[in-house]
Amino acid sequence: MRPAGRADTASLYFTYPQFAAPEGAARAGLARDVAVAIVGAGPVGMVAALTLAQQGIASVLIEAKDSFNDGSRAICIARQSYAILDSLGVVAPFLEKSLGWTTGRSFYRGRQILEFHMPDGPEEKFRPMYNLEQQFIEAYLWQAIEANPLIETRWQSRLEGIEIDEAGARLTVADPEGSYSFHASWVLAADGARSAVRSQLGLRLQGQNFEGRYVIADVQMEHDYPTIRRALFDPACRPGATVLIHRQPDNIWRIDYQLGDDEDPAEAVREDVVRDSVAAVLAEIGHAGPWELEWWSIYSANTLALEDYRKGPVIFIGDSAHIVPIFGVRGLNNGIADAHNIGWKLGHVLAGKAGVALIDSYPPERRGATLDVFANASKSARFMTPPTRGWQILRDAALGLALTHPFAGELANPRQMTPFTYAESPAVLPDDPGFAAGPAPGAAMIEARVGAGFLSDRLARGGFTLVCFDPALARAIEALPGAPAVACLPWPSAAAERLGAGQNAAYLLRPDLHVGARWQAATAETVRAALDKLCFREV
């Protein structure tokens, strides 16, 4: 919601572009068959389109609205998402605009009980977290899409029907000129929490709703506090409740405050009530200057997911597949990983580089990641908003103890997101027990300094990479037909040590930067056979 007198998209800091529906000559091709349709040009659909395009695969992106998402949504983007954006070649504007951060502070009844620092250091190319408003995330993805001839975007085009057949699915779309249908061999459903694709196919999200409601308010003000996440437990401005405060670019501050059991949600979102509540929080944090309300909404946490992320040729990614509590900042971050995961797999299959069975590894890998998020997010949701009197007593006891015993403050550590390890996946190979360190198959590759740059700078964009230390092995791999890219690193080196790698060791990385296989004694033959297996190629 925006203050009275301001239109839905009348933002204080962002100018919404307006995109036209297909018109003129572009309409002639609307009904043609396509290989991939992506429903929803939110951030997840856009990342999927860019990932497919990186694989050389064209897609049609269908979006109901005429602009980016309005209001304020995701603000915290994790390191792993920046690594994905980097591998897609689009991270530069994100880095320029966003605010990187490592530190959070928690306060109980006005006194600091915890300062946590997320893992960071000179070995890392990206900070653990960046704050950036979702509008900019979408705008920067759009810059890349607009310039990419492999992606056809149809704005103001709402999916109204979908029917699966033996060759894919037929989609019915309505736009301002009327309605038409077209056939797609594959459909990526990226149409968000209220997915039309999901409901058209009779699928339902399953899971849990949490107690407790929050008002999410964005405020513009000049406020002199670094980019450090603040959590206020039981503050004087909201006794018994929790308040979160985040700095964003353009002097925008995100203030999330919990409503008390006695507060009527409908009343709580009235503009005058929001203004009073925000003013009380700002007084508590010592902001005496002017401020303006940008936007607000009401929110309660859910852990909901589809039982299966695939129905035949239709694959669910992002919020259409899962809804997670915002406090773990995993909704969009997970959606970006979904899109990247299915993007390289579908791209490899359609480009003839992998067998179609590779697609089957998407649902278990990414649903596994969602269930892991649920486990973590449920813990933090219970801490932020204790669901019962018993939880409340336990939580308050821990917070009270933390005033005098710092170890108890750790309980207030939100444990920010780390990438999920696909340990059980059919698209990773068993580990070599000879490793005492480094990421196991299924885990995301770690970052390391290599010369003046980073290991990730040496990895293929969109393809497999063999990271090795023996120049003779590197040459043998490069001579293979359909060879992966090779990053041959010095040995011994700090990177080799972090990877637990002997001189003949090698890591085979998938295009999504997860480890597919590793060996202490790699040969060209083992690497070639592993590539065939990871790509489900018949040999």
Ligand X SMILES: Cc1cc2nc3c(=O)[nH]c(=O)nc-3n(C[C@H](O)[C@H](O)[C@H](O)COP(=O)(O)OP(=O)(O)OC[C@H]3O[C@@H](n4cnc5c(N)ncnc54)[C@H](O)[C@@H]3O)c2cc1C
Residue 65 sits in the site that holds ligand X (CB under 6 A): yes
Both tokens of 335, joined, read: 């959606």
Q: What is the smallest separation between the CB atom of 62 and ligand X, expressed in angstroms?
A: 5
3-state secondary structure 125-185: CCCCEEECCHHHHHHHHHHHHHCCCCEEEECCCEEEEEEEECCEEEEEEEECCEEEEEEEE
Q: What is the smallest separation between the CB atom of 360 and ligand X, expressed in angstroms?
A: 22
Q: What is the smallest separation between the CB atom of 192 and ligand X, expressed in angstroms?
A: 3
Q: What does DSSP say about strands 292-305 and 322-323: parallel, antiparallel, or unpaired?
A: antiparallel
Rounded-to-integer distance, Cα 495 and Cα 451, Å: 10
In the complex with ligand X, the residue whose CB is nearer, 76 or 315, is 76
List own/partner pairs for 472-479 with CB under 8 A and 24 or more apart: 473/504, 473/506, 473/522, 473/523, 473/524, 476/523, 476/524, 477/524, 477/527, 479/524
Tell me which of 34, 37, 38, 39 binds ligand X, using CB under 6 A.
39
Stretch that binds ligand X, among 69-77, 304-312, 378-386, 500-508 (CB under 6 A): 69-77
Stretch that binds ligand X, among 62-70, 283-291, 351-359, 531-539 (CB under 6 A): 62-70
Per-residue string for binding with ligand X, 294-333, x by CB under 6 A?
-----x------------------xx------x--xxxxx
- Tell me which residues in 352-411 interact with ligand X (CB under 6 A): none
CB atoms closer than 10 angstroms to residue 467: 28
Stretch that binds ligand X, among 59-67, 116-124, 403-411, 507-515 (CB under 6 A): 59-67
Stretch that binds ligand X, among 56-64, 87-95, 269-277, 426-434 (CB under 6 A): 56-64
Rounded-to-integer distance, Cα 125 and Cα 102, Å: 13
Which residue is nearest to ligand X, using beta carbons?
42
Q: What is the smallest separation between the CB atom of 408 and ligand X, expressed in angstroms?
A: 27
Residue 69 sits in the site that holds ligand X (CB under 6 A): yes
Both tokens of 409, joined, read: 């403050």
Residue that is written with structure tokens 């039981």 in the block: 234
Stretch that binds ligand X, among 189-197, 258-266, 356-364, 464-472 (CB under 6 A): 189-197
The number of CA neighbours under 13 Å toward the Cβ of 321 is 35
Say how far residue 222 (Cα) sits from the centre of its chain: 29
Tell me which of 42, 347, 419, 441 binds ligand X, using CB under 6 A.
42
- Tell me which residues in 208-227 interact with ligand X (CB under 6 A): 216
In the complex with ligand X, the residue whose CB is nearer, 197 or 467, is 197
Rounded-to-integer distance, Cα 233 and Cα 411, Å: 12
Stretch that binds ligand X, among 37-45, 179-187, 279-287, 364-372 (CB under 6 A): 37-45
Q: Are 428 and 517 in contact (CB under 8 A)?
A: yes
Residue 230 sits in the site that holds ligand X (CB under 6 A): no
In the complex with ligand X, the residue whose CB is nearer, 335 or 441, is 335
Residue 442 sits in the site that holds ligand X (CB under 6 A): no
In the complex with ligand X, the residue whose CB is nearer, 52 or 466, is 52
Contacts of 273 (CB under 8 A, 6+ apart): 267
Tell me which of 37, 52, 114, 196 binds ligand X, using CB under 6 A.
196
Residue 19 sits in the site that holds ligand X (CB under 6 A): no
Q: Are 205 and 214 in contact (CB under 8 A)?
A: no
Rounded-to-integer distance, Cα 254 and Cα 333, Å: 18
Could you list the residues that contact ligand X (CB under 6 A)? 39-45, 62-65, 69, 73-76, 134, 158-159, 190-193, 196, 216, 299, 318-319, 326, 329-333, 335
